[in-house]
């Protein structure tokens, strides 16, 4: 899902799910780095 879609829809729900997706992928990336050690 792209942020542009959320902007055009102006839907808070869409934006919230977009942020959650970003946060989730960031956490997963950090976990992978941590397990590399």
| pLDDT in the model for residue 36 | 79
| pLDDT in the model for residue 10 | 65
pLDDT per residue of the chain (37 residues) written in tens, 0 to 9: 455 655 656 677 777 888 999 999 999 999 999 997 7
| pLDDT in the model for residue 18 | 86
CA-only gyration radius of the chain, Å: 13
- Torsion, Cα of 5, 11, 15, 21 (10° steps): -80
Number of domains in the chain: 1
Range of the domain at 24: 3-36
């Amino acid at each position: 899902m792209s942020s542009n879609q959320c902007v055009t829809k102006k839907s808070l729900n869409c934006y919230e799910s977009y942020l959650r997706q970003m946060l989730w992928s960031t956490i997963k990336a950090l976990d992978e780095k941590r397990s590399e050690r």
